[in-house]
Structure 1
Amino acid sequence: MILPGGIRVVFGSAFVDPRDPGNGVGNPFAVVMGAEVGRLSAAQRRTLARRTGTPETVFIDAVRQRCEPHRPSEYELDLTVLTPTGKTLGACAHGFIGVVHALAETGPITVGLDLVITTPSGGSARASLSGGCTVMLHFVSSEPLIVYGREQALEEIFHVPLPSLAGGLPVLSVGSPKLTVEVTPAVFARLRRELDGLDYDRLMALQRELNVNGIHLFCRNGITGMPERAIQANAYLGRIAVDRATGVSNAAQVSADPRVSEGQRLQIAQYTQASRSAILTLTKGKGRGIWVGGAAVLLGDREP
C-alpha cells in the first residue's frame, strides 16, 4: 500500500508492566500520523487498519492547542479508531495512550498539558501525561443497558457454566459498549484454560445482535471483594477472539461497580489463556467518571 508522503505509522504497546516494559505484557497499537492523514480515503484507512495487524489503529486527524484567557492551556485531538475489520470505535484506551506517547515523543505536544480527545463516533476522553511512560485517561460512562435471556448463547460461546442471569446482564460503555459478565474466581480460572475452545461464530453473532464491542468477563478478589482479574473476548480479532488489554472495558465496569468507592484506586490484571497480558490502573471519579491508565512503550515505525 502506497501512503501519501509524510505519513508515519508508529507501533507500540500499552498497559505494559512498568517494572519490566519489555516482557511482552500489553496490547499492541498503531498510530497513523502526519500532515497528510486527512488525504487518506475511507477505503485506504480500512486497508491500513487491516494491514497493521493491531487490535486498534488510530488515525490522528487533527492536533490543536487551545489557549484561552483564564483557562489552562490544553490540546484538542481529533482521532479516528478502526479495528482490523474496519469497524469504527467511539473510544479506546490503549490506542489513545499510544497517540499521546507518539505525539509527546515526536514533539507536537508538551508533556504536562492535558489533551481533550474526540472521535467522529461520539467518543471522548481527557488525557494527561505528566512524565515517564504512564498516561491517564478520564472517561465518563454511559447509563447501563440491561439485556435478558442470553444464558444459552453465552454458555455455548464459552463452554462453561455461568452464574444465574435472572436479573439480566449490563451493557456498559465509556464509548465502546461491552456486555459485562461477573464470574467466580473458579469459573474465571476455567475460562482461562479453555479459551481456545471459544465459539467464535456464536460470539460474532451475539455481538452483532446486541451491537456490542465484545464481552467483558471479570472476577473479584476473594478477600477484598474488589475487581481483580478480567478477560475480554472480542469477535473482531478473528478466531483469536481474546483482546490482550482493554481499558475501556475495565473502566466501564469499575465506574458502574457499587462496591467501588469514589476516589478508590484499583489495579486490575487482564489475562489471555497463556498468562497475564496487561496491567491497568483505575480510579473511580465523581458521578460516572473514571480514570484509567497504564504504561506504554513505542516500538518505532515500520511498513504495514
Structure 2
Amino acid sequence: MARPVMLPRRTIVVSGLAFVDTSDPYNGLGNPFAVVIGADVGTWDVARRQMLARGTGAPETVFIDALREPRGQMSSSLDYELDLTILTPTGKSLGACAHGFLGAAHVLTEAGFTEPGHNFTIRTSAGGLARSSLSRSGTVMLHFVSQEPRIAYGHEKALEKIFHLRLPSLADGLPILSVGSPKLTVEVTSSTFAELRLGLDSMDYEELMALQRKLDINGIHLFCRNGNTSLPERVIQVNAYLGRSLCVDRATGVSSAAQVSADPYVRNGQELQITQYTRVGRSASLSLTKGENRHVHVGGAAIVVDYQRLR
C-alpha cells in the first residue's frame, strides 16, 4: 500500500530543463519544464490551472495532483504513485509528456519528497500511464508501452505545403505512432533532414494545424538514420497545439519512444543515443532502449533553474 506524502503548504513553481547533456548540463540543451507543487494543487479548478500554464513560459506545465509513498515490508521494491495533470500554454491536456514526467521525478527527489532508487507509477488526468525510475546518479528513466500504429495515406502534398519541401512518396502510407501523444512519423534522408532544419522558420503553420486536426495527432515527428548503422540518430518534431511561437519542440521523448519501439532496425535490448534539433542546432540529448512487445525506455537528465513561490 502507499500513503500520501505531505507536500509544501505554499505552492511552488519549479522551472528547469529536461534531456540536458549530462556531460555539460548548463550548455543550453534541453526542453523547458514547469512543475507546480503544493498541498492544495490537487484541488485547483481547470481555469486556475490554465491561467498558470499560460504564464510559466514552458511548452508543458506539470501539476502534481497527488504523491503517495511506498509502505510495507517490501517498500524498497514498490513504486511511488504520482498523479499529474499536464497542460500546454493553450490549455490542452496531454496524456503523456516525457520531459514533464522527467522534470517532475527530478524535482520531487531534489526537494526530498522521494528517494533515489525507487520507481514511480505515473498517471495523468488525461489517461496517460508510465513508469519512471530515478538512479542515484540523477538520471531519470521512463518506461512506456507504445500503442498499435495507425497508417495515414495520401498526405505527401500536405507535408510539402507545410515544409515547402518535396518529401519521398510512400505508397504504404505514413505511421501515426504513440505512447500517449500521437505523432505522424516521417523518415527522411540525411540531406533532407538538413534542409528541413534550416527551413523550420518558414513552415506553414495553418497547414500544420489543419493536418493535425484532420489526423487527430499532436504533431509531426521527422527523423533520419545513421548512414553506417541504419539506426535512428537525429530528430525534429513540430506541432501546432502549442501555438505558433512554440511550433518547433526542443525535446520529444514520447515521440522518439514510439518511433524506436516500432523500428525494425533496432534490436530488443539495444540502447540508442538520439539527438534532437531545432533550426539553430542541437536541442536535446536522449537515451532510449527498446524492449519486447512494444515496450521502450527513455532516459535523460534534468536541472532546476528557478523556484517561484506563489502567494
Assess same fold via TM > 0.5: yes
1:271 aligns with 2:280: no
Asked whether the equivalents of residues 11 and 301 of structure 1 are also in contact (C-alpha less than 8 Å), the reply is yes
What is the match of residue 146 of structure 1?
151
Q: Is the 8 A contact 2:11 2:309 kept in 1?
A: no
Please tell me the root mean square deviation across aligned C-alpha atoms, in Å. 1.5
Which residue pairs with 1:220 in the alignment? 225
- The 5-angstrom pairing of residues 1-20 of structure 1 reads 6-20=10-24
Q: For 1:126-137, what aligned pairs fall within 5 Å after superposition?
A: 126-137=131-142
Q: Give unmatched runs, 5+ long, in structure 1.
A: none
Is residue 244 of structure 1 aligned with residue 259 of structure 2? Answer: no
After TM superposition, the structure 1 = structure 2 runs for residues 85-234 of structure 1, keeping only pairs within 5 Å, are 85-234=90-239
Check conservation: 2:66, 2:83, Cα contact below 8 A. yes
Asked if 1:41 is matched to 2:42, the reply is no
State the secondary structure of the residue aligned to 1:138.
strand
CA distance in 1, matches of 2:90, 2:20: 25
Instruction: Name the aligned partner's letter for residue 11 of structure 1.
Output: S
1:259 aligns with 2:272: no
Rounded Cα–Cα distance in structure 1 between residues aligned with 2:241 and 2:54: 11
Q: Structure 2: which amino acid aligns with 1:265?
A: E
Q: Distance in 1 between matches of 2:48 and 2:147?
A: 32
Find the aligned partners of 2:107 and 2:178 in 1 and give their Cα distance. Answer: 26
Distance, in Å, in 2 between the alignment partners of 1:5 and 1:105 is 17
Cα distance, 1:39–1:122 mapped onto 2, change above 3 Å: closer
Distance 2:283 2:78 in 1: 36
**Structure 1 residue 303: deviation in Å?**
6.5
1:288 aligns with: 294
- On the 8 A contact 2:177/2:183 being kept in 1, the answer is yes
User: Which 10-residue stretch deviates more, 290-299 or 126-135?
Assistant: 126-135
The TM-score with structure 1 as length reference comes to 0.96
| Distance in 1, Cα, partners of 2:9 & 2:205 | 39
290-299 or 61-70: which moved more?
61-70
For structure 2, list consecutive stretches of 5 or more residues without a partner in the other structure: 1-7
Match of 2:4 in 1: none
Q: CA separation in 2, counterparts of 1:199 and 1:56?
A: 23
SS of residue matched to 1:49: helix
Shift of residue 59, structure 1, vs aligned partner: 0.5
Residue identity matched to 1:204: M
Give TM-score, length-normalised by structure 2.
Answer: 0.94
Return structure 1 stretches of 4+ with deviation > 2 angstroms: 66-71, 236-240
Quote how far apart the aligned CAs of 1:204 are: 1.0
Q: Say if 2:17 is the partner of 1:21.
A: no
Aligned 8 A contact 1:97 1:135 in 2: yes
Identical amino acids, percent of aligned pairs: 63
Deviation at 1:209, TM superposition (A): 1.4
**How far apart are the structure 2 equivalents of 1:66 and 1:118?**
16
- Contact 1:237–1:243 (Cα < 8 Å) also in 2: no
> What is the CA distance between 1:236 and its match in structure 2?
2.4
